[in-house]
Amino acid sequence: MVKLWMIGHSTILLEASGKRLLTDPYFGLWGSLGYSRLRPPARTRQELGNVDVVLVSHNHFDHVDRAFLSRLPPTIPVLAPSATAFITRLKGGRKVVGMSPWQTLALGEIQITAVPARHVTFTIGYLIEAEGKCIYFAGDTYFGQFMAKIGHQFRTDIALMPVTTYRVPMTMGEQSALRAVRMLSPKTVIPIHLGITPRLPLLRTGQTPESFRERVRQARLQTEVVILHEGDNYVPLEGVVS
């Protein structure tokens, strides 16, 4: 059974085919000079337990956790954009595996494919195929035409996407996320990147996952938007389970 567990922000634990995959680990409680963390993660670094692989989309503070990565056993692969793999190593990654777009890696019965993404720094997304399901982890990407190719190659069941943004856009934002939904036609979108907010109120947009869900409804798209809070689990066909 495929199960997603929202740890918080863009940190999601995906359990499938007997493996545990963790996306963009971030366990810090404070944030940064520019952003404050809104709520603590559902689990601490220690409570999370073992993982089999870590998928890093890019090296910003809210996507790589030095204390977590440096404590991982040296046998656990940490996938990261190849162009900046050295930074992931500097940020605690030990067995860092540089990934380029369209490169595929097998983890037991699971296929992980790196896909293009666009941000203010080097970044990639991931398509995870497991147990007949296809899960897209978009990282912090903006909308881009590369999504047409992703939509062409993969029939996405669940898209983990940053659908809200700030006045200085750091992620997709509602309008672009709607375009992405049209292009990818995922069965389900789970909004991510909800755990931090700009310290300067001026930079906040007021976009929420609920307002995005309303937009998708109004557009009469077939996609369902499922909002997960820290600690929520999601199982396809069953929905949110606690």
- Contact positions toward Zn ion, by CB under 5 A? 62, 140
Q: How far is the CB of 140 from Zn ion (least distance, A)?
A: 4
Q: How far is the CB of 32 from Zn ion (least distance, A)?
A: 10
Q: How far is the CB of 234 from Zn ion (least distance, A)?
A: 21
β-sheet with 11-16: strand ranges across = 95-99, 77-81, 53-55, 19-23, 11-16, 3-8, 233-235, 239-241
Distance between CA atoms of residues 72 and 96, nearest Å: 11
Q: How far is the CB of 47 from Zn ion (least distance, A)?
A: 23
Q: Which is nearer to Zn ion, 15 or 140 (CB)?
A: 140
Q: Which is nearer to Zn ion, 11 or 113 (CB)?
A: 11
Q: Are 38 and 8 in contact (CB under 8 A)?
A: no
Q: Which is nearer to Zn ion, 58 or 215 (CB)?
A: 58
Q: Which is nearer to Zn ion, 140 or 230 (CB)?
A: 140
Q: Which is nearer to Zn ion, 15 or 62 (CB)?
A: 62
Q: How far is the CB of 184 from Zn ion (least distance, A)?
A: 20
Distance between CA atoms of residues 91 and 237, nearest Å: 37
| Residue-wise burial string across 126-163, b where 16 or more C-beta atoms lie within 10 A, e elsewhere | bbbbbeebbbbbbbbbbbbebbeebbeebebbbbbbbb
Half-sphere exposure in the Cβ direction for 168 (13 Å, CA): 11
